[in-house]
Amino acid sequence: MAGKPSSETNQALDALVESYDAGREIDNLESAALPNRRALIEALHHIEPMLYMGFYSRKPLSRENLREAIAEHLTPAREILCDQLRRAVTYEQRRGQLLLPDGTDFVEHVVSQLLQSLPALRDVLNEDVLAAFDGDPAAKSVEEVVFSYPGIRAITAHRIAHWLHKAGVPMVPRIISEYAHSETGIDIHAGAQIGEGFFVDHGTGVVIGETAQIGRRVKLYQGVTLGALSVSRSKGSEPAGKRHPTVEDNVTIYAGARILGGETVIGHDTVIGGNMWIVKSVPPYSKIFGRSASEAVEADQG
Query: Do 84 and 158 sit in the same domain of this protein?
Result: yes
Looking at the structure, do residues 248 and 157 belong to the same domain, yes or no? no
Which pLDDT band, with edges at 50, 70 and 90, does 238 fall under?
A: low
Exposed/middle/buried for 290, CB within 10 Å: 0-12, 13-18, 19+? Answer: exposed
* HEC secondary structure over the chain: CCCCCCHHHHHHHHHHHHHHHCCCHHHCHHHHHCCCHHHHHHHHHHHHHHHCHHHHCCCCCCCCCHHHHHHHHHHHHHHHHHHHHHHHHHHHHHCCCCCCCCCCCHHHHHHHHHHHHHHHHHHHHHHHHHHHHHHCCCCCCHHHHHHHCHHHHHHHHHHHHHHHHHCCCCCHHHHHHHHHHHHHCCEECCCCEECCCCEECCCCCCEECCCCEECCCCEECCCCEEECCCCCCCCCCCCCCCCCCEECCCCEECCCCEEECCCCEECCCCEECCCCEECCCECCCCEECCCCHHHHHHHHHC
Q: What pLDDT is recorded for position 296?
A: 55
Domain CATH number, residue 293: 2.160.10.10
Question: Considering the chain, what percentage of its residues have pLDDT values greater than 90?
Answer: 74
41 part of a folded domain: yes
Residue 292 binned pLDDT confidence (cut-offs 50, 70, 90): low
The answer to whether residues 302 and 156 belong to one domain is: no
Contact (CB, 8 A) for 247 and 208:
no
Check whether residue 264 and residue 128 sit in a common domain.
no
Query: Would you say residue 182 has pLDDT above 90?
Result: yes
Q: Which of 1-15, 72-86, 111-125, 168-182 has the lowest mean pLDDT?
A: 1-15
* 6 lies in some domain: no
Please report the pLDDT score of residue 232 as a whole number.
61
Q: How many domains does the chain have?
A: 2
Mean pLDDT for the chain overall: 90
In a domain, 153, yes or no: yes
Is position 291 within any domain? Answer: yes
* Residue 216: inside a domain: yes
In a domain, 5, yes or no: no
Read off the pLDDT of residues 20-65 as tens digits, 9 standing for 90 and up. Answer: 887 777 777 766 578 999 999 999 999 999 999 988 888 899 999 9
- How confident is the model over 266-295, as a mean pLDDT? 89
Question: Distances from the Cα of 287 to the Cαs of 8, 250, 263, 265, 296, in angstroms?
Answer: 66, 13, 20, 14, 7
Q: Per-residue confidence at 192, pLDDT binned at 50, 70, 90? A: very high
Give the Cα separation of 165 and 172 in Å (integer): 8
297 with 260, same domain? yes
Q: Mark whether 268 and 139 lie in a shared domain.
A: no
Examine the domain organization and report whether 122 and 42 are in the same domain. Answer: yes
**Whether 41 and 118 share a structural domain:** yes
pLDDT of 65 reads 92
Judgement on whether residues 112 and 255 belong to the same structural domain of the protein: no
What φ, ψ does residue 208 adopt, rounded to 5°? -125, 120
> Does residue 94 sit within a domain?
yes
Pair 168, 257 in one domain: no
Within-domain flag for 199: no
Residue 27's contacts (CB-CB under 8 Å, 6 or more residues apart) are: 19, 20, 21
Predicted model pTM: 0.86
Least confident span in 56-65, 195-204, 246-255, 280-289: 56-65
Instruction: Please give the angle made by the CA atoms of 157, 159 and 164, to the nearest 5 degrees.
Output: 95
CA distance 297 to 278: 11
The residues with which 225 forms a beta bridge, in sequence order, are 207, 258
Residues 181 and 213 in one domain: no
Q: Please give the residue range of the domain that contains residue 278.
A: 205-231+241-302
101-122 residues labelled b (16+ CB within 10 A) or e (exposed): eeeeebbeebbeebeeebeebe
The two most distant CA atoms of the chain are separated, in Å, by: 81
Looking up residue 90, the CATH number of its domain turns out to be 1.10.3130.10
Distance of CA 73 to the CA centre of its chain: 22
Shared-domain flag, residues 175 and 217: no
d(CA 283, CA 277): 16
